[in-house]
Amino acid sequence: MKNSKVFILKKTIYKMKKGVSPVIATVLLISMVIVLGLIIFLWFRGMIVEEGTKFGKNVKLVCEDVNFKASYSEGILSIVNLGNTPIFNMHLRIFEGKGYDTLDLKEKYPEDWEGLNSGGTFSQQIDGEVGNADKLTLIPILRAKSSKGEIPYICGDEYAREVEGI
Amino acid sequence: MLLQDKKGVSIMVGYILLIVGALVMGGLVYQGLKTYVPTEIIDCPEGVSIFIKESDYNEEDGSLEITLVNNGFFNINGYFIHATTTQEQKVATLDLSEFIKEGGIKGGGFVLSLFEPNDEKPSNFEGIDIEIYSIQIIPMRFQKEDSRKRFVACGNSKINEDLNHK
């Protein structure tokens, strides 16, 4: 009889045992959430294009501070940087008819283009490229700091300036 | 019953984890968003002004003499000086700072010369080997930004002067 009671008690205690202790369950839960969060973060970060910063500001905002003037006469393109934001490179858009061609000034004239610091100037004979263009516009490209180092950032079309004299 | 009463983490540890998590996430969001906050741009004060009182250009010996007057409310520490090399050119790109002989010190693409308000100073440039038609001057200043002196170009105070050929 006594043996039978002990057996029932042991059986009850055995039934009360859980698979894992609550401490381990909590630790597992937290670590799974952290791991899942990291996976989602890294996945999304890969999809989002990093814009970078310049002077501690998002480079997109710095594009508003760019101030330059450009003119075209006798086949020569002349640019002066009037602001205090260094211009790393520029895209020249040559509009003809309904479309346009884009010319990367740094790529096209690597020996003459040295970037435009404050007060810096650039002039280049480009009549061979321009042809019978209806309009020329210049889009500034800035150098921004990012987690991958220094990256070029092309300012939006709203920051394009028309070249005078065409 | 004793086994069922066990908690994963104590209430105190739970709170600490929650607060630390909230602080870390807040810090991450702050770092990401602070770059989007527009900050004051480095710019010259509006009262910066300079004008060319006299100019004398001799294309035969390539000499240029100009008298500059600071008619603004602030000190000017120097200027960028560029010239046009054709009559049609609207943006001057030829750097004249390398030809300075008197009235300033040659800097990296600019002339260093202190002009206090109402100061009038002549500057001589010699050996200009290309015929020039007009000059454009952009004043520059050294301004204190975040307790350090920074060089600032005053593009909005740019002046132009057509040169008379002898």
| Same-domain status, A150 and A72 | yes
CA distance A38 to A42: 6
| Same-domain status, A33 and A85 | no
φ, ψ of residue B22 to 5 degrees: the values are -65, -40
Mean pLDDT on A100-105: 93
| Same-domain status, A28 and A82 | no
| Same-domain status, A37 and A62 | no
| Same-domain status, A146 and A104 | yes
| Same-domain status, A24 and A100 | no
| Same-domain status, A38 and A104 | no
The amino acid occupying position B96 is: L
Is A3's pLDDT higher than 70?
no
Block residue for tokens 């970037």: A115
CA distance B107 to B80: 9
Residue A142's domain is classified under what CATH number?
A: 2.60.40
| Same-domain status, A63 and A43 | no
Subunit contact A56:B39, Cβ cutoff 8 A: yes
Subunit contact A16:B136, Cβ cutoff 8 A: no
More confident residue, A13 or A45: A45
When CB atoms are compared, the residue of A21, A80, A120 closest to B6 is A21
Tell me: ipTM over 0.85: no
The number of beta carbons lying within 10 Å of the beta carbon of residue B26 is 10
Domain final position from A47, A64, A83: A47
Question: Which pLDDT does position B109 carry in this prediction?
Answer: 87
Could you list the pLDDT tens digit for every one of the 166 residues in chain B?
455 555 667 888 889 999 999 999 999 899 888 888 877 777 888 899 999 999 999 988 899 999 999 999 999 999 999 999 988 888 999 999 999 999 899 888 899 999 999 999 999 999 999 999 999 999 999 988 777 888 899 988 999 999 987 6
CB B117 within 8 A of CB B147: no
Question: Which pLDDT does position A88 carry in this prediction?
Answer: 95
| Same-domain status, A67 and A40 | no
Q: Which residue of B has its CA nearest to A51?
A: B35
Best of B30, B76, B93 to substitute, by most chain A Cβ atoms within 10 angstroms, is B93
| Same-domain status, A83 and A15 | no
State whether residue B61 sits within 8 Å of chain A by CB: no
Question: Which pLDDT does position B37 carry in this prediction?
Answer: 82
Residues facing residue A89 across a β-bridge: A141
Question: Which pLDDT does position A136 carry in this prediction?
Answer: 94
| Beta strands across the sheet bearing A121-125 | A68-73, A76-81, A121-125
Domain total in chain A: 2
The minimum CA-CA distance between B10 and chain A, rounded to whole Å, is 10
Question: Which pLDDT does position B33 carry in this prediction?
Answer: 85
The residue range of the domain holding A157 is 53-162
Sorted by sequence, the CB contacts under 8 Å of residue B73 that are 6+ apart come out as B45, B47, B48, B49, B117
| Same-domain status, A105 and A71 | yes
| Same-domain status, A6 and A76 | no
Residues facing residue A67 across a β-bridge: none
The minimum CA-CA distance between B57 and chain A, rounded to whole Å, is 22
> Assign residue A105 a region: left if phi > 0, alpha if psi is -120 to 50, beta otherwise?
alpha
